[in-house]
Amino acid sequence: MPDRIAPDALERWMQAVLEASGLEPAAAETVAVSLVDANRRAVDSHGVARVPTYSERLRAGLVNGRPRPRVERENGAVALVDGDRGPGQVAGVLATDHAIELARRHGVGVVSVHRSSHYGAAGYYAIRAARAGMLGISTTNSEPFVIPYGGIGRALGTNPIALAAPTPDGIFDVDMATSQVAVNKIFNARDEGRTIPDGWGVDEQGQPTTDPAQVHAAVPLGGYKGYALAVLVEVLSGALAGAGVGHTVGSLNEGGETQDVGHFHLVIDPDRLAGRARFAEALGGLLEALKAMPVAPGHDEVLVPGEPEARAKAERERDGIPLPPTLWTTLEALSGELAVSPPGR
């Protein structure tokens, strides 16, 4: 059984590690809170397992430790944000909040971000908009790691898409990579010495492999349709923002390059369309109808998107976040290097 840690203790620890890596306190808090939010929701691929990479990139000067993201251009409901080469979370939060503000004024807000870096879980930004009573959509591109359908080699990011909106009793969200799985699930398996299921990755020759150490590229979700969705995300997040696209997005995990990741944030005020209450009721009714469908053999129940994460969040906020022993050891070693005191296990 992995040891567990209280979410707020993990936030404080990760904030201290990021600060000691050169990120100023307010930005370090933003990044730590967003990563631990992913762990709270059991999206461990985009939680604190990413901190060693973030720390290395901050120390190497590849990510700006004193970022000043700003609205560079604005016209009506549309704005472009310069991420100032800082952590994607800092630009992503600023862009989402600005899109919410635009949606309050105009009914819709579209904010694109360029000159940014990895922003973590796309759902974090969509859910932030939903908490403000809006429908939020967020996409980002990422370093090329996914094969084009029918091809060999890395061409596209794992390019997630997230949507969230208020329901009568909470928030609905969908948050998914357009590759078969988020690539960090492959990296986490490699770091923890586990094999991966068939169909997640291919080697340099384009052959399927279950050994995460042999994975050269990830596979698009559901064949050519996931490939098409990944291209859609490059268009929205990269091309529209004037950020990198495909091969012009720098690598996060390999080599010393800056990224120029692009993010796309679309916020819509449902009050300007169906009306806030009617929209929430329609969405809530749809979710109820889905959950009431007969259960297929081999399944216990019908879940709706976002439900696994919501359940995990309730459990982890009560019992703590489980950290695999290898990750805990890595974070302790990093803390030692940076003269940060880790919490006891």
Q: Which of 266, 283, 277, 267 has its CA nearest to residue 104?
A: 267
Which one, 107 or 284, has the nearer CB to ligand NAD?
Answer: 284
Rounded Cα distance between 232 and 226, Å, is 10
Active-site residue 118, yes or no? yes
Q: Which of 58, 170, 184 has its CA nearest to residue 122?
A: 184
The interface region with ligand NAD, picked from 171-179, 230-238, 280-288, 330-338 by CB under 6 A, is: 171-179
8-state DSSP, 5: E
Site string for ligand NAD, 258-287 (x = CB under 6 A): ------------------------------
**3-state DSSP call for residue 175?**
strand
8-state DSSP, 295: P
- In the list 18, 58, 176, 268, the residue contacting ligand NAD (rule: CB under 6 A) is 176
Hey, what are 281's tokens?
């009721």
Site for ligand NAD in 305-344 (CB under 6 A): 305-306, 308-309
Site string for ligand NAD, 33-72 (x = CB under 6 A): ----------x-xx--------------------------
Rounded Cα distance between 71 and 113, Å, is 9
Rounded Cα distance between 195 and 304, Å, is 28
CB 27 within 8 A of CB 86: yes
Which one, 92 or 109, has the nearer CB to ligand NAD?
Answer: 92
Q: Does 237 bind ligand NAD (CB under 6 A)?
A: no
Nearest distance from C-beta of residue 259 to ligand NAD, angstroms: 10
CB count, 10 Å around CB of 137? Answer: 23
- In the list 60, 303, 314, 333, the residue contacting ligand NAD (rule: CB under 6 A) is 303
Site string for ligand NAD, 107-136 (x = CB under 6 A): -----------xxxxxx-------------
Rounded Cα distance between 162 and 173, Å, is 7
- Give 3-state DSSP helix, strand, coil % of the chain, rounded to 5: 45, 20, 40
Which among 118, 247, 263, 299 is annotated as catalytic? 118
Rounded Cα distance between 111 and 267, Å, is 9
Q: Does 240 bind ligand NAD (CB under 6 A)?
A: no
Q: Does 171 bind ligand NAD (CB under 6 A)?
A: no
- In the list 158, 167, 188, 209, the residue contacting ligand NAD (rule: CB under 6 A) is 158
Catalytically active residues, by annotation: 118
Note the residues at the interface with ligand NAD (CB under 6 A): 43, 45-46, 118-123, 140, 142, 158, 160, 162, 174-177, 181-182, 185, 303-306, 308-309
